[in-house]
Structure 1
Amino acid sequence: MQSKSNLDCFLRSTTPVVQSQFLQKHEIRNLNPLWHPWEREVVEYFTLGDLWNCFDELSAYGAGVPITLANGETVVQYYVPYLSAIQIFISNTTVREETESGDSETRDSGSDSFSDDSECDKACRWDGTSSEEGGFEQDCLSHLNNRLGHLYFQYFERSTPYGRVPLMDKINGLAERYPGLMSLRSVHLSPASWMAIAWYPIYHIPMGRTIKDLSTCFLTYHTLSSSFQDMDLDDDTEGTHVKRKEGEGVSLPPFGLATYKMQDNVWVSGNCGRDHERLASLLSVADSWLKQLRVQHHDFNHFMGIRNG
């Protein structure tokens, strides 16, 4: 059997598997039919708080990815996750529930999070400044279909990699103003809800020498909605997306991927050329997703060498 490639190992090591819960039957009947058109007896979901828990240890120590070098030596390269971008769309019913539960900021957070024109211009550049909630032009709202729902929250990171804090620290800070980042359920999120995680290498074991081929950075895109929960990935290789039993947790493999400083001889060797096709497909999907939502994603532009403004 074909051994797993280093790309397979990276995707497997960085795919979150979130603790799941089950909706009661009366709750299933109340789901938005536009977002959940299939009738199901059992619906699994996760809370955003449980999703972030998957990144708690990774934010502190990094995700260990076993990598086989050209000489046959195996090292474990560690990658630290950083929140690169996130957009959360919810239904108006969920907005009311959040407001009635005492979260007075959530109702208007979607509109309040947008920047003025000057900030939008600045947001399109890799300028080394920290991001605030905001980052795509206000007139884009008129192009978004009602099916997307209400924009509860968005964040786009603009600081340089060395100026960022690990994902868990960033989320904890943002959740102080937007508590829905911890409490919202995946079944109440629009199919347009997504996040991007930037993975930067920190060290490898065994240590003792510099391996330039391990400087690759990754940008993974993940859906946050249960609408895609039962869908399979066509580009799956070597069981990265494994069929699971109910109650084992919800796996969130990336639907899109971008890379920076990638060395093909390390990451896409073997697998009968499928890794090249897979990388091209994942990159194309990420690009299409951003264009469909009319979003300027700063890390994506940087990875692609795109300079704006």
Structure 2
Amino acid sequence: MIFDSGSTQSNLDCFLHCTTPTIKSHFLCKSEIRNLNRLWHPWEREKVEYFTLGDLWNCYDEWSAYGAGVPIGLNSNETLVQYYVPYLSAIQIFTSSREETESGDGERDSISDSYSDESELWRWDGCSSEEGGSDQDSLWHVNNRLGYLYFQYFERTTPYGRVPLMDKINGLSRRYPGLISLRSVDLSPASWMAVAWYPIYHIPMGRTIKDLSTCFLTYHTLSSSFQDMNPEDNIENPKKKRNEGDDISLLPFGLATYKMQGDVWVSGSCGQDLERLMSLLSVADSWLKQLRVEHHDFNYFTGIRRG
């Protein structure tokens, strides 16, 4: 495979492009627009687009089974395709109702306290199942914009003990159907997820390159509140604007890396890739601190060790 030297995309661009979910867009009817939470959707609009969480997870179906192929340009003017499998690293879903959440089929799934042995998994009732909730309790109640924590999951097992993202969601959604039925317009701006991407193989085989073992952690917002705020519209490609009705792309707002040992991911864009990586890492760190969240994978990727 020959590398297209005329391409303006760097390897980092290619990774972000190839691992960004693109989701089918839906429109709310006018009666539903009037019922939107104005704290989360303050702008008056004739049309409001949204996606369902079920459609979002479908984007990861093939990637979970076969890996997402990322073309990587090498210094020898050749490319190879590195495949990455996505794993659910963390997710928090905040909704406007503390007692119940409307599902897509008209049924309601009640909010009850629960805990899973495989990770931290609980629904908000003022405190965590593992820690006292005094700090978090003040945060949630002082800032009503966050809404109520409907669902939370943080993966803590080693990479070899995890199942791909789609398998994990299928398992969790049996107990929490809102993971499929909820819509982006139902979610608070504080709703987010992190996806861990681990390399599995590359084509053609046989090349030993340190950076091909790099792992990535991408952060994505889940709420429609940020839908029109595409950070790359005016930076990477000012001519490429999303049109109404186009599929919705959930570009990562934050990023962390692990085992980045060479210059494969920072060799393009005249040094801008390195600045971009540092900026995305800083934003992810700020996001976690604002929500007072301890994200195990982020700490591991960035070398933070908790006693």
Same fold (TM over 0.5): yes
Among 260, 285, 291, which residue is 1:287 paired with? 285
1:126-275 matches, within 5 Å, as: 130-134=118-122, 137=131, 138-139=133-134, 140-144=136-140, 145-233=143-231, 237-239=235-237, 242-275=240-273
Q: Deviations over 1:21-49 (max 9, x none)?
A: 10001111110000001111111101100
Which residues of structure 2 form unaligned runs of 5+?
Answer: 1-5, 123-127
Task: Give the whole-Å Cα distance in 1 for the aligned partners of 2:62 and 2:302.
Answer: 29
Instruction: Give the conservation status (yes or no) of the 8 Å contact 1:47–1:183.
Output: yes
User: Normalising by the residue count of structure 2, what TM-score does the alignment of the two structures yield?
Assistant: 0.89
Deviates most, 240-249 or 198-207:
240-249
Task: Give the whole-Å Cα distance in 1 for the aligned partners of 2:96 and 2:42.
Answer: 15
Cα distance change of structure 1 residues 237 and 7 upon mapping to structure 2, 3 Å threshold: farther
**Any idea what SS the aligned residue of 2:14 has?**
helix
Task: Give the whole-Å Cα distance in 1 for the aligned partners of 2:237 and 2:12.
Answer: 12
Deviates most, 177-186 or 268-277:
268-277
Task: Give the whole-Å Cα distance in 1 for the aligned partners of 2:278 and 2:220.
Answer: 17
Instruction: Please give the root-mean-square deviation of Cα atoms over the aligned residues, in Å.
Output: 2.4
Deviates most, 3-12 or 201-210:
201-210
Q: Does 1:32 align with 2:30?
A: no
Among 101, 107, 113, which residue is 2:111 paired with? 107
Among 75, 88, 96, which residue is 1:91 paired with? 96
Q: Deviations over 1:227-256 (max 9, x none)?
A: 011113068654499422222211100000
Report the residue type matching 2:111 in the other structure.
R
Instruction: Give the conservation status (yes or no) of the 8 Å contact 1:11–1:240.
Output: no
Q: CA deviation at 1:107?
A: 2.1
Task: Give the whole-Å Cα distance in 1 for the aligned partners of 2:89 and 2:197.
Answer: 9
**Any idea what SS the aligned residue of 1:267 has?**
coil
Task: Give the whole-Å Cα distance in 2 for the aligned partners of 1:272 and 1:2.
Answer: 14
1:16-31 matches, within 5 Å, as: 16-31=21-36
Q: Deviations over 1:50-71 (max 9, x none)?
A: 0000000000001000001122
Instruction: Give the conservation status (yes or no) of the 8 Å contact 2:86–2:195.
Output: yes
Instruction: Give the conservation status (yes or no) of the 8 Å contact 2:185–2:224.
Output: yes
Instruction: Give the conservation status (yes or no) of the 8 Å contact 1:215–1:261.
Output: yes
> How many residue pairs end up in the alignment?
292
Instruction: Give the conservation status (yes or no) of the 8 Å contact 1:158–1:299.
Output: yes
**Any idea what SS the aligned residue of 2:244 has?**
coil
Which residue pairs with 1:296 in the alignment? 294
Which residue pairs with 1:125 in the alignment? none
Which residue pairs with 2:51 in the alignment? 46
Report the residue type matching 1:286 in the other structure.
A
Q: CA deviation at 1:211?
A: 2.8
Task: Give the whole-Å Cα distance in 2 for the aligned partners of 1:209 and 1:240.
Answer: 36
**Any idea what SS the aligned residue of 1:265 has?**
coil
User: Normalising by the residue count of structure 1, what TM-score does the alignment of the two structures yield?
Assistant: 0.88
Instruction: Give the conservation status (yes or no) of the 8 Å contact 1:12–1:240.
Output: no
Cα distance change of structure 1 residues 96 and 168 upon mapping to structure 2, 3 Å threshold: closer
Aligned residues with identical type, % of pairs: 72
Greater relative CO, 1 or 2 (CA 8 Å, sep 6+) = 1
Which residue pairs with 2:125 in the alignment? none
Counting helix residues as a fraction of each chain, which structure ranks higher?
Answer: 1
Which residues of structure 1 form unaligned runs of 5+?
Answer: 116-128
**Any idea what SS the aligned residue of 1:266 has?**
coil
Instruction: Give the conservation status (yes or no) of the 8 Å contact 2:101–2:178.
Output: no
Q: Does 1:69 align with 2:59?
A: no
Task: Give the whole-Å Cα distance in 2 for the aligned partners of 1:184 and 1:76.
Answer: 35
